[in-house]
Structure 1
Amino acid sequence: MRKFLNARAAALATVLAAAASQAHAQVAQADPQGSSAVLSGVLWLQGTLMGNVATAVAVMAVAAVGFMMLTGRMNWRYGATVIVGCFILFGATTIVSGIRTASGA
């Protein structure tokens, strides 16, 4: 059972990593009239959080969690949630794009 879960988790990680590369091919829709200031502020925030800041924080979090898991000071299930959280953070654009496509928007 444990080997099945490990293989399943590895397959999920591979799919999420492959799906994240498709996010750059999205076509932007027209923005509402007068939203340029708000939109530019939100895009700046997204670029900041998804760029170097998020990458540095994710690397430190995964390294710290991995070290604590290896030394037996952290529950493996809690450590896995941190790593899955990093996948969700970096795959957020793809996840939202998939939801919008599924809803027909």
Structure 2
Amino acid sequence: MRSFSRIAALAALLVPSAAYAQGADPQGSGPIVAALTWMQGTLLGNVATAVAVMAVAAVGFMMLTGRMNWRFGATVIIGCFILFGAASIVSGIQSAAAVG
């Protein structure tokens, strides 16, 4: 019985038809959408880009001089790639879900 519920949950996750039923933004979600748009602009704007460049440079210098663990340095750099590539990653996932 337990495996059946896992299979049903997996099937519900793989079927994107429930997401299509919502259509546009729900009524009354304007302030929430505006706040999230502001947050996206802040996280991907010029200030965030400058901070990320300085972080990658500092981590690279510390890794070069042997003062930082390579695994932690790689985590910081990969995190920056994920942060700035999030829009591309999500659009790729959406296009893959639309094809299937």
Query: TM-score range, shorter-chain basis?
Result: 0.5 to 0.7
By relative contact order (CA 8 Å, sep 6+), the higher-ranking structure is 1
Segments of structure 1 that go 5 or more residues without pairing to the other structure are 1-28
Within the candidate set 19, 40, 46, 2:34 is matched to 40
Within the candidate set 78, 82, 96, 1:102 is matched to 96
Q: Show the counterpart of 2:73.
A: 79
Q: Residue type matched to 2:43 in 1? A: L
**2: distance between equivalents of 1:31 and 1:104?**
19
- CA RMSD for the aligned pairs? 2.0
Question: Which stretches of structure 1, 4 residues or longer, exceed 6 Å deviation after superposition?
Answer: none
Q: Show the counterpart of 2:63.
A: 69
Q: Deviations over 1:5-56 (max 9, x none)?
A: xxxxxxxxxxxxxxxxxxxxxxxx8433222111111101110111023212
Count residues with an aligned counterpart: 77
Within the candidate set 42, 46, 58, 2:52 is matched to 58
> Bigger shift: 37-46 or 76-85?
76-85
| Aligned partner of residue 33 in structure 1, secondary structure | coil
Structure ID, larger Rg: 2
Segments of structure 2 that go 5 or more residues without pairing to the other structure are 1-22
Give me the TM-score of the superposition, normalised by structure 1.
0.64
Q: Residue type matched to 1:85 in 2? A: G
Q: Identity of paired residues, percent?
A: 74
